[in-house]
Amino acid sequence: MSGFEELAAGCCGAVERYVRYKISSKADGDDILQEVWLAAFEMFDRIADKNRFKAYVIGIARNKVISFYR
């Protein structure tokens, strides 16, 4: 398993719960989750502190949810 997969596996439940709580439509929630994980993967090498990965990904999710409602 890569470093990204290990860190993502540790926080995927929290990220999914956050998005599902904010977005009532399952299809829209799935789309946002896909965008969140894609953005996290693309920026993974630029994260200086891997210990804060969960907070980083939840921040991405928060921003994607905000963008969804705009």
Please state, as a whole number, how many other Cβ atoms lie within 10 Å of the Cβ of residue 56: 18
| CATH number of the domain within which 64 lies | 1.10.1740
Per the listing, tokens 């709580």 go with 21
Q: Total domain count for the chain?
A: 1
DSSP state of 48: S
Segment 6-60, tens digit of pLDDT: 999 999 999 999 999 999 999 999 999 999 999 999 999 998 888 999 999 999 9
Which pTM was predicted?
A: 0.92
Give residue 44's domain range. Answer: 3-69
1 pLDDT tier (thresholds 50, 70, 90): low
